[in-house]
A and B are shown apart, each in its own frame.
Chain A
Amino acid sequence: MNAPATAKTPEKKPDTTLPGPEITPATQPYWDALREGRLTYQHCHHCKNNWLPARGECPKCLEADWSWQPASGKARLISWVVFHRAFHPAFADRLPYNVAVVELAEGPRMITNVIIDDPETLVIDQPLTFVPAQEQGYGIARFKPA
């Protein structure tokens, strides 16, 4: 800031509103369930494939014959990173924070956060458990060590 300290202009706070998910008819049930604290995934009746994120058709067999299923909440840690720099003002006061990729016991993989004091103590492939959470009015899925 080069402005003189005497300037009376009020400091403009950066907008901390995060971009929300793009909710479509295909993804609405997923977000509705998470708001109620339930983690769900899509299951193909035709080829038995399970997947996330929500799509209109099974990416394996391309059929649209599927339904939402409740996840067991069991998962394993595929990988994780720890942000020491905020790329959005909403995370400026949360540093450092982690973002992880987990694989649900049923197969689908997803982006999440692991609830843990020191993320550098995490271990690849360690078992995790689903924890329902809220962020900016949306239900989201976090995980903690099992």
Chain B
Amino acid sequence: MDVSQYLEIFIDETKEHLQSLNEQLLVLEREPDNTETINEIFRAAHSLKGMAGTMGYKRMQRLTHDMENVFSEIRNGKMSVTANLVDVLFKGLDALESYLSNILESADEGTNDNEDIINSLNNILNVGLGKVADNKEQQEAKQVVATETSKSQEELTKFKSLKIAEHEKHAIQKAKSIGEHAYGITVYIMESCILKAARSFLVFKALEELGDVIKSFPEVQDIEDEKFDYDFSVILLTEEKMQKVKEVIENVSEVKEVYIDEIEVSDEMKSEEESVANEGKQSTSKQAATATQSKESADKQQKQANKQTSKPVVNRSVRVDIEKLDVLMNLVSELIIAKNGLVSISSTENNSRADSGFNEQIEYLERVTTNLHESVMKVRMVPIESVVNRFPRMIRDLTKKLNKKMELYMTGEETELDRTVIDEIGDPLMHLLRNAADHGLESNEERIKAGKPEVGSIFLDAYQDGNNVVIEVRDDGAGINVEKVRNKAISKGTITQEQAETMTDKDVIDLLFKPSFSTAEVISDVSGRGVGLDVVKTKIEALGGDIECKTTLGEGSNFIIRLPLTLAIIQALMVELGNEKYAIPLGSIQTIEDVSYSEIKYVQTREVINLRGSVIPLIRLDQVLDVEEREIKPESLTVVIVKKGEKMAGLVVDNLIGQQEIVIKSLGKYINNNKIIGGATILGDGEVALILDVNTLV
């Protein structure tokens, strides 16, 4: 079987399953009795095994199989979750990940058998089940049977746990009275099936030819939308025999198994006792009883159902090659440039009344292009979750490695960023987290001594702020000792004694981002090689963002990463300097002020203004950019107040032109201008305007 065409799907889905295994295992470690989690894990492991098997990755299949065995014993309550077990399982996941990366590179899983992991898994299994190694084989065989075919009849005949509503009961009774049968059917579709919705549709079609489907779980709509795992259950009213129905379903291809049984309904819910003999009957009434008895369990089930149906929603997507999106984006850019051209023609030509129709159309075009741009941008946006969801696992590993108790708290995982940024941001974040864990947090003993909670906290918060996305990596550790950094910098020769004295604390902290500057006294393999923060900074700057650090001694440090939301098209304020035009990204602009000369004050020979209580330094753009000064001095200055984080500055410009949507183009790699210019854009009349990078200026 040629599986190459499914390779991509396999890789994506395996990644998803591994991620969910990672997450669920972490939960399991904390709550060893959480059956929902165990079920989730079991499902993911099972699907993984099935997929690996279909694709012919035998080693991967074997490892997942053994892991699944362990999971199934836990699920059956025969084994308890121990720290040792979780460790081995995590090792197993790592091994699976390395298989996956081999597959990514060469479409081959590699040759590592990971015998040791398999052995320790089996050992745990044997010890956990209190069995000796002799009957390992036998037990293994049992395991295979147990997992491969049927865990237990009860588990697989899910239709028995269907809740039957009152009117459905009536329908069943009525059908029985006219000689029809009511069958509960659970259909399992093969895990390898790509179009499971289509398969189930065929099953439904076949069933509907035989009789009436009065109930299905999940709902028919959800099944059509692929919001189900690999099984679904229905209740069918038909005149046909059970065997016939079963055959009909099994004729549909890619159906793995079918369980069918007659359903009996009791007239009254009380009749529980009398239905003990009849299994089907029992479970229906029991189900009804549970429904009335404990809302809690119903809720739980509801939750579970929600969980089941909500997960595939994420998957309801088309995977598009990012290059195709780039092409689309470029076309949108072209369109916007063309539109800007029309706008500038319409505004320069004298507007007689005959032109009003033309203007209307241009405004319409403007609206459409803006919306189009937004939609295309949105397509490229990915929640940051896909990057950060591997961090809890990382922190867990670090806890063991560093022997420090710590917790990671994350918020804002749903914050969206451009795909290209998402791909790059993982490593810098990981680095910051490792730093926080290794250097930031004190050891548990020190924490207790300092009167802090023993368990250290690391926070990862993401949120949107104007045109930026901000990601903060915070810890409640010791904070950065500014004096220590200062001394270190002097001893390393980074700065001189005199410089050190005039430097503010903030300047000193910024030294941390300089290449080869690590203050960790002990170099560990977690962090502290001195190639850390500067790499983080370079990477983030390459993405058009910046990073700053705030710290309070004894209370912790906070690294704040600021990233541009969009990379290609932004709203900008066009300004004039001399006879040149520049664009300032709107996202960083706070206000625009008219400042008279008398309001300018001097602090340390720098021009500042006092704006509603805050002192803001002025930046004379004409001097910074070497623009020829205008001969006529205006009576007052036009100042654009910009913000970078909490820092503000006033950019002095000659003239304001107005707001415009601009397409950011790179200046290419040949021109080197100290990053003051972030790019260029093409105006409506074909002229080029340069975009100021406010983050570098301030």
Are A and B bound to each other? no
A residues contacting B by CB (< 8 A) are none
